Amino acid sequence: MIRIDHLTMKFGKFTAAADISLSLARGESLALWGSNGAGKTTIIRCVLGLLSFQGTIRVGGRDVARDGKRARSLIGYVPQELAFYDDLRVWEAITLFARLKNVARVDLDATLDHVGIPDQGGKRIRELSGGMKQRLALAIALLGDPPLLVLDEVTASLDVCGRAELVALLGRLSGQGRSLLFASHRADEVTSLAQRVLMLEKGKVTAEVPVSQFVARLGAGSVLHLHMPAPSRPVAIQLLRDHGFAPTLNGVGILVPVPATQKAVPLRLLAEARLSVDDFELLSPRDANLSQENHA
């Protein structure tokens, strides 16, 4: 679906992406993982043909640089935050993009239902909440049922609740034979949506791994030692595994390797699942090993 060969993109002296190659098969889902400034957004904008770059990018076999319009007709794009003429009404925005995307017929109500904002067709875009705007952006991206969805930190400006709902919605959508390319710096999103992860740092690829190895690769961070009642531990371990972590049991609790930026995520996940955590401590990997050995 996407094939990037030797993409290099510079803003003046600053290299935003350095010799990046990747490919994404039909129906596959790839995460661009990295902190801010790692080059995720740059790659996405290059894929959309919005920036001029060195190397080649093909989407569905179409060269983005030369045939951008046709390449983009295969892509549904959702930005971090929908910035669009907010004086437009929702139905007008849908009409506008349906026309631009050559969509012959759109069932307005079904479209809005699909992304979970029914009955909002008459509102102006500026009257929508952040979550609704992102859903509208998603609805627009889905017009014409494009084979590839490109998402750029779509949950970044949402609150916890909105984020979870949107991720769930995206999870449902990605299962329908669509390819998915998305940028995120949240491990839970990556683990719940991606099959493969491209890990980026300062514009360079540091690793390309299947999602199963993703959390382990993050281990360079630290280890969260959770103290919780024994009965809930197996459930907790299953839950954390589901979200891409690699928890292990020890005598008094659970050890979870966490990346540097995600140290509280397991706590949140457990809290949301109403599993009580009595106490926690943060260990360096070495200390964690010691503690493991002690218990052994």
Task: Give me the sheet containing 253-258, strands edge to edge.
Answer: 248-249, 253-258, 222-227, 279-283
Instruction: Give the residue with the Cβ less far from other proteins, 94 or 197.
Output: 94
Residue 39's nearest CA partner among 60, 54, 17 is 17
Binding other proteins by CB under 8 A: which of 6, 23, 61, 109?
Answer: 109
CB 57 within 8 Å of CB 64: yes
Helices 233-242 & 265-272 angle (0-180, nearest 10): 120
Rounded least distance, CB 183 to other proteins, Å: 14
Instruction: Give the residue with the Cβ less far from other proteins, 36 or 102.
Output: 102
Tokens at 39, concatenated:
């080059």
Rounded least distance, CB 190 to other proteins, Å: 22
294 near other proteins, rule: CB under 8 A: no
Rounded least distance, CB 99 to other proteins, Å: 4
Helices 130-142 & 90-100 angle (0-180, nearest 10): 30
95 near other proteins, rule: CB under 8 A: yes
293 near other proteins, rule: CB under 8 A: no
Binding other proteins by CB under 8 A: which of 6, 14, 54, 113?
Answer: 113
Binding other proteins by CB under 8 A: which of 13, 110, 177, 294?
Answer: 110
Stretch that binds other proteins, among 27-35, 43-51, 194-202, 254-262 (CB under 8 A): 43-51
The DSSP secondary-structure symbol of 42 reads H
Tokens at 247, concatenated:
């928890």
Cβ contacts of residue 88 below 8 Å, gap of 6+?
Answer: 96, 124, 125
135 near other proteins, rule: CB under 8 A: no
| Separation CA 264–CA 271 (nearest Å) | 11
Rounded least distance, CB 291 to other proteins, Å: 48
Binding mask 62-91 toward other proteins (x if CB under 8 A, else -) reads: ------xxx-xx-x-x-x-xxxxx-xxx-x
Q: Which residues of 267-283 are buried (b: 16+ CB within 10 A; e: fewer)?
A: eebbeeeebebeebeeb
Stretch that binds other proteins, among 108-116, 223-231, 240-248, 283-291 (CB under 8 A): 108-116
50 near other proteins, rule: CB under 8 A: yes
Cβ contacts of residue 68 below 8 Å, gap of 6+?
Answer: 48, 49
Residues in touch with other proteins (CB under 8 A): 45, 48-52, 68-70, 72-73, 75, 77, 79, 81-85, 87-89, 91-92, 94-110, 113, 121-123, 137
